[in-house]
A = this chain, B = another copy of it.
């Protein structure tokens, strides 16, 4: 199924940005609320915090009442300015369960792996539901779509049987699909973990968004771990036709363009190298990728598409783009 409108953006909500990394299964509520409000501003036409009409009509934990603005919908015009897809990582959800059981290594005939598969799916689904609810409270018509339930599977950890019909149909019907890293079946291993970054590359290849934004917990990609005192934020990285990348800005002191780079310290599925190589694969398609700190003015600007083509001097983040 083709998209009836071009896909504007795929947004990755990094696990490190929207969960509290040191606390098991804990949402970073403040970041998630800010990110959700940024997404509302970017996605929903004519929206403001005053006229937002929430779509989460379920009880909030610890409260007995339901906020249902059904009566306010009379004349309300609600529309997505343009199609978006949201994909989130796991952060402090799912990781404990996956690593305890080794579900990423496969072997579903082992009881522990099978139990870990169940436990991992429960944990990431808990997170997915909380993110869908946060977006819905901002009036974003979001629908959770778990890769496992969508029937997606891998073969030797590469995406294999992937039918995008459901995602496309949701987008064409005016919804924002919210996908996530998930435990899935793998044709050779039995099962594995399909990471959010791999999902994004696959979606980008097939649905050709105008741009892709990775929201993370640091300003962007650094030349070394961002906790080190002399770490330099890389502003622009170019990717050539072979997927090789080099640093364009800033010009690094040692003249070395191929530095050991580092994104979020708490990216767990695959780590920095996977993230950069997935981003490079996307950029190679001619799609600009922005890696930027969540819940900041910089991420709002990246989401709005303001960075496309020309990077403002006062914008902090990393742009990865194709330069044939």
Chain A residues within 8 Å of B, Cβ to Cβ: 24-25, 53, 55-59, 61, 64, 66, 68, 70, 73, 76-78, 96-97, 100-101, 108, 110-112, 114-119, 121-123, 125-126, 129, 132-133, 136, 139, 141-146, 148-151, 153, 163, 165-166, 169, 173-175, 185, 190-191
- A56: chain B residues at CB < 8 Å are 118-119, 122
Interface centre among A53, A141, A144, A151 (most CB of B within 10 A): A151
Task: Determine which of B24, B66, B166, B169 lies in contact with A66 in the assembled complex, contact meaning CB atoms within 8 Å.
Answer: B24
The residue in chain B whose Cβ has the minimal distance to the Cβ of A113 is B73
- Would you give the shortest CB distance from A286 to chain B, in whole angstroms? 29
Please tell me if the beta carbons of A108 and B174 are within 8 angstroms of each other in the complex: yes
- A118: chain B residues at CB < 8 Å are 55-56, 136, 141-143, 175
- A121: chain B residues at CB < 8 Å are 143-144
- Distance between Cα atoms of A210 and B256 in the complex (Å): 68
The residue in chain B whose Cβ has the minimal distance to the Cβ of A120 is B57
Knowing A129-B129, A150-B151, the reply to whether A58 touches B141 (Cβ < 8 A) is no
The residue in chain B whose Cβ has the minimal distance to the Cβ of A127 is B58
- Distance between Cα atoms of A163 and B163 in the complex (Å): 11
- Would you give the shortest CB distance from A255 to chain B, in whole angstroms? 49
Please tell me if the beta carbons of B125 and A144 are within 8 angstroms of each other in the complex: yes
Give the number of copies in the complex. 2
Task: Determine which of B53, B117, B129, B174 lies in contact with A126 in the assembled complex, contact meaning CB atoms within 8 Å.
Answer: B129
The residue in chain B whose Cβ has the minimal distance to the Cβ of A102 is B70
Interchain residue pairs with CB less than 8 A apart (22): A24-B66, A53-B111, A55-B118, A56-B122, A58-B122, A58-B126, A68-B119, A70-B101, A73-B110, A76-B112, A78-B114, A117-B143, A118-B142, A121-B143, A122-B129, A129-B129, A146-B146, A149-B150, A150-B150, A151-B151, A151-B166, A153-B169
Please tell me if the beta carbons of A115 and B100 are within 8 angstroms of each other in the complex: no
Q: Which 10 A-B pairs have the closest CB atoms?
A: A149-B149, A73-B112, A151-B166, A57-B119, A78-B111, A55-B118, A70-B100, A55-B115, A145-B149, A25-B59
- Would you give the shortest CB distance from A313 to chain B, in whole angstroms? 40
Please tell me if the beta carbons of B136 and A151 are within 8 angstroms of each other in the complex: no
- Distance between Cα atoms of A139 and B25 in the complex (Å): 21
Task: Determine which of B66, B141, B150, B173 lies in contact with A96 in the assembled complex, contact meaning CB atoms within 8 Å.
Answer: B66
The residue in chain B whose Cβ has the minimal distance to the Cβ of A93 is B58
Please tell me if the beta carbons of A125 and B129 are within 8 angstroms of each other in the complex: yes
Please tell me if the beta carbons of B146 and A53 are within 8 angstroms of each other in the complex: no
Knowing A115-B78, A118-B55, A121-B144, the reply to whether A100 touches B68 (Cβ < 8 A) is yes
